[in-house]
Chains A and B, each alone.
Chain A
Amino acid sequence: MSLAKPAMRGLLAKRLRFHLPIAFALSLVAAAAFKYGVTEPRKKAYADFYKEYDAMKEFNAMREAGIFESVRPSGE
């Protein structure tokens, strides 16, 4: 009984054919994960903040909290 001849050529090409697509796919997944996990939520957070932003309401809340020095709370 003779053994099957082992593969003696094309080993690097075979390894590359296996690993390179995985490398590309993983890197695209990492980029997509960052884009949809961080970038898009951050853009949405800023858009949502300013969509309903009431400048005077926020200013008055900060004023009453006493954080400004140029404008004191209305009681003072």
Chain B
Amino acid sequence: MAHPAQMGFQDAATPVMEELLHFHDHALMIVYLISTMVFYIIVAMVTTELTNKYILDSQEIEIMWTALPAIILVLIAMPSIRVLYLMDEINDPHLTIKAMGHQWYWSYEYTDYENLTFDSYMTPTQDLTPGQFRLLETDHRMVVPTDAPIRVLVSAEDVLHSWAVPSLGVKMDAVPGRLNQTAFIASRAGVFYGQCSEICGANHSFMPIVVEAVPLEHFEIWTAMMMEDV
């Protein structure tokens, strides 16, 4: 989850999010390069009493400020397209989960083998136990196995929502009448938090997402237990 005074992304828990982190670092490096140059030139321009009223054109500078940005754009585009295509790889999921957005909670359907469906409501602040996170905890978490490609089909039952978990590198709009697909592989066990990312009414800020990644054998025990409860 996010922590106070955080400036960057949350720690990545999937290979795709790691690649996105590194690409962001690359793009930000180029931003600092350009910003430093522009800022220095601005300071140099304003800290002189000299003026030149006779410049009409300059082929050299026009070539420079066309060619250099074109080269910089290519240097940004190459890793960008690489990560984009990486995210769209055919990934043969081991498990498919449907995440349905409602006003104002998520419901999850694990229907590959059995008919396991449950709702996930935010835990109200007054019901939190010590150590739990305000506005982020839910009564039921979406449990997934680690190191397995998971496909999430996202949709909505009423208005637009968006299923987002930053540390998994996942955000997908939940559109009524439409099935959107996203996928991830949880590289490590843990608990990962997200929040609805499309304005959906009064309690848009109060329908969080919690994904719990555990080893496969524990995931199977959990599904069996959930089926008994249901």
- A residues contacting B by CB (< 8 A) are 11-12, 15, 19, 22-24, 26-28, 30-31, 34-35, 38-39, 42-43, 46, 50, 53, 55-56, 58-59, 62, 67-71
Select the residue from B18, B37, B48, B50 with max chain A CB neighbours within 10 A: B37
Among B25, B28, B37, B189, which residue has its beta carbon within 8 angstroms of that of A24? B37
Select the residue from A39, A62, A70 with max chain B CB neighbours within 10 A: A70
In the bound complex, do residue B218 and residue A39 qualify as a contact, i.e. CB atoms below 8 Å apart?
Answer: no
In the bound complex, do residue A39 and residue B29 qualify as a contact, i.e. CB atoms below 8 Å apart?
Answer: yes
Which residues in B have their C-beta under 8 angstroms from that of A43?
22
Main secondary structure on chain A at its contact with chain B?
A: helix
Assembled-state Cα–Cα distance A50/B12 (Å):
12
Chain B nearest Cβ from A30, distance in angstroms: 4
Chain A nearest Cβ from B138, distance in angstroms: 9
Among B25, B44, B141, which residue has its beta carbon within 8 angstroms of that of A42? B25
In the bound complex, do residue A19 and residue B44 qualify as a contact, i.e. CB atoms below 8 Å apart?
Answer: yes
In the bound complex, do residue B36 and residue A30 qualify as a contact, i.e. CB atoms below 8 Å apart?
Answer: yes
Which residues in B have their C-beta under 8 angstroms from that of A55?
146-147, 188-189, 215
